[in-house]
């Protein structure tokens, strides 16, 4: 259906930082399938894991135990705050699971009238009816009312606003550690620590949507590690499956206990093929310890390069981000810049009309970043000359 504004390009092949189209044109990929291909395209470990698993067992349903799912769940639990994992197939579904779990936990453990979830303006949590409602942006909700009851929005980064929004019906606060789709917005330094204190006082759950920030993207395996706090529930998807469709909701034992058999399910969720790819991908991220630390270091290098452009062009308003989730806010429309970049052989992204978003694979090198900066310089030069 006509749901995507696609570029007139057919991509046929990828390897590491590069993809090629059907005319043989080469692109350096700073989009990475929207922050999915953290290891680059067709990483050998992921490819081999998929080939091996495909020959052995692809899918059997969650009526049975399967080794790849157990293995991936174990790795996620060992490397995070969580004790339990529920697998599904996408970010939106992971957030649906989180919303259902938070409601069930609050109704069972606190009071049956607790169902309301506070989320942030400019957030993004997915495209199902519940998750467009959780998403604090009218542009995703237009045309789809009535929305789900039980959501309330506050400005991102304002603890006082959360405190004012809490009522006896509130059960949880759901946030991205860094708002990605909403323009790469970072919270103030102490925001999450102060928020966590408030939520503990009020006995409310913190749900972190790490669908985009997780799996090393921000220079830590999970972005909450930057803030010195842990959530009660965390959702993952995007980079979790090394390019295959998988999502997960993780939780502490205490919260996860609210789900019993029959409460929630997914036919495909965490199937053998996706979990084999996810396991290979997470193993690569963890064993190549430099990948995540490289992400932190090279992200700073990237921001410096972009700051050089900001010195030169007055229509560049701001540069912000953490690790390799970086935004460049412009005073001009960014969608044409994306098209110009494609002509130059670079895949980049624009969100909120005016924010160029860079989410390359974590294997990106300084040379590749230099190349992109030079290409942007040429594009911006032409824009200023025209203006
Ligand atoms: C992409 C994204 C989602 C939605 O994920 P889908 O797999 O497209 O459903 C949810 N939350 C955040 C923070 C995202 O970046």
Closest CA to 237 of 249, 222, 247: 247
What residues pair up with 18 in beta bridges, in sequence order?
A: 15, 28
What CATH number is given for 11-30+290-386 in this structure? 3.90.1150.10
Tokens (6 digits) for 39: 């290891």
For all residues of the chain together, what is the average pLDDT? 97
Sorting pLDDT into bands at 50, 70 and 90, what band is 104? very high
* Residue nearest atom 15 of ligand 1, based on CA coordinates: 212
pLDDT in tens, 243-268: 999 999 999 999 999 999 999 999 99
pLDDT at 337 over 80: yes
Residue-level pLDDT at 144: 98
Q: Could you give the 3-state DSSP secondary structure of residue 44? A: helix
pLDDT at 15 over 80: yes
Instruction: Indicate whether residue 210 lines ligand 1 (CB < 6 A).
Output: no
Sorting pLDDT into bands at 50, 70 and 90, what band is 108? very high
Instruction: Indicate whether residue 125 lines ligand 1 (CB < 6 A).
Output: yes
pLDDT at 17 over 90: yes
pLDDT in tens, 363-384: 999 999 999 999 999 999 999 9
**Alpha-carbon gap, residue 247 to 263, rounded angstroms:** 18
| Ligand 1 atom index nearest CA of 128 | 9
Helix (H) or strand (E) holding 344: none
Catalytic residue among 209, 232, 259, 354: 209
pLDDT at 23 over 80: yes
Fold annotation for 44-287: 3.40.640
CB of 309 within 8 A of CB of 380?
yes
What residues pair up with 205 in beta bridges, in sequence order?
A: 172
Residue-level pLDDT at 288: 75
| Ligand 1 atom index nearest CA of 179 | 13
| Ligand 1 atom index nearest CA of 176 | 13
Residue-level pLDDT at 290: 85
Question: Does 25 participate in catalysis according to the annotation?
Answer: no
Could you tell me what percent of the chain has a pLDDT over 70? Answer: 100
How far does the centroid of ligand 1 lie from the alpha carbon of residue 94, in Å?
A: 9
The stretch 177-184 carries a mean pLDDT of: 98
Mutate to test the pocket of ligand 1, among 211, 231, 352 (most ligand atoms within 8 A of CB): 211
The stretch 76-93 carries a mean pLDDT of: 98
Residue-level pLDDT at 386: 86
Sorting pLDDT into bands at 50, 70 and 90, what band is 178? very high
How far does the centroid of ligand 1 lie from the alpha carbon of residue 176, in Å?
A: 10
Question: Does 100 participate in catalysis according to the annotation?
Answer: no
| Ligand 1 atom index nearest CA of 91 | 5
> What are the helix (H) ranges across 81-185?
91-109, 129-134, 138-141, 159-165
Alpha-carbon dihedral 362, 367, 371, 376, rounded to 10 degrees: 60
Residue-level pLDDT at 169: 97
Residue-level pLDDT at 387: 78
Domain extents in the chain: 11-30+290-386, 44-287
């Amino acid at each position: 259906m006509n749901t995507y504004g696609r570029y007139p390009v057919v991509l046929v092949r990828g390897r590491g930082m590069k993809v090629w189209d059907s005319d043989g044109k080469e692109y350096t990929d700073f989009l990475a399938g929207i922050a999915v291909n953290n290891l680059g395209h067709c990483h050998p470990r992921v490819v081999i894991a998929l080939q091996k698993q495909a020959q052995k067992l692809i899918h059997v349903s969650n009526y049975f135990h399967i080794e790849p799912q157990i293995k991936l769940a174990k790795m996620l639990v060992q490397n995070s705050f969580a004790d339990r994992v529920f697998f599904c197939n996408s970010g939106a579904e992971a957030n649906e699971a989180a919303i259902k779990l938070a409601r069930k936990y609050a109704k069972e453990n606190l009071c049956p009238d607790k169902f309301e979830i506070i989320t942030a303006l400019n957030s993004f949590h997915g495209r199902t009816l519940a998750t467009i409602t959780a998403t604090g942006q009218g542009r995703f909700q237009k045309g789809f009312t009535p929305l789900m009851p039980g959501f309330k929005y506050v400005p991102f980064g304002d603890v006082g606003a959360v405190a004012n929004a809490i009522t006896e019906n509130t059960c949880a606060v759901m946030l991205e550690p860094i708002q990605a789709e909403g323009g790469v917005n970072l919270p103030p330094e102490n925001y999450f620590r102060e928020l966590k204190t408030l939520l503990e006082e009020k006995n409310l759950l913190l749900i972190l949507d790490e669908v985009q920030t997780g799996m090393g993207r921000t220079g830590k395996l999970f972005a909450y590690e930057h803030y010195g706090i842990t959530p009660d529930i965390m959702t993952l998807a995007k980079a979790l499956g090394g390019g295959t469709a998988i999502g997960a909701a993780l939780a502490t034992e205490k919260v996860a206990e609210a789900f019993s058999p029959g409460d929630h399910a997914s036919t495909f969720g965490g199937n053998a093929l996706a979990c084999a790819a996810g396991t290979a991908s997470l193993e690569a991220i963890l064993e190549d310890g430099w990948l995540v630390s490289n992400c932190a270091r090279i992200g700073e290098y990237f921001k410096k390069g972009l700051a050089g452009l900001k010195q030169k062009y007055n229509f560049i308003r701001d540069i912000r981000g953490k690790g390799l989730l970086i935004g460049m806010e412009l005073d001009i429309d960014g969608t044409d810049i994306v098209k110009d970049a494609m002509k130059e052989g670079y895949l980049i992204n624009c969100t909120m009309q005016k924010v160029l978003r860079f989410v390359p694979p974590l294997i990106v090198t300084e040379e590749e970043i230099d190349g992109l900066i030079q290409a942007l310089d040429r594009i911006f030069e032409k824009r200023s000359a025209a203006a």
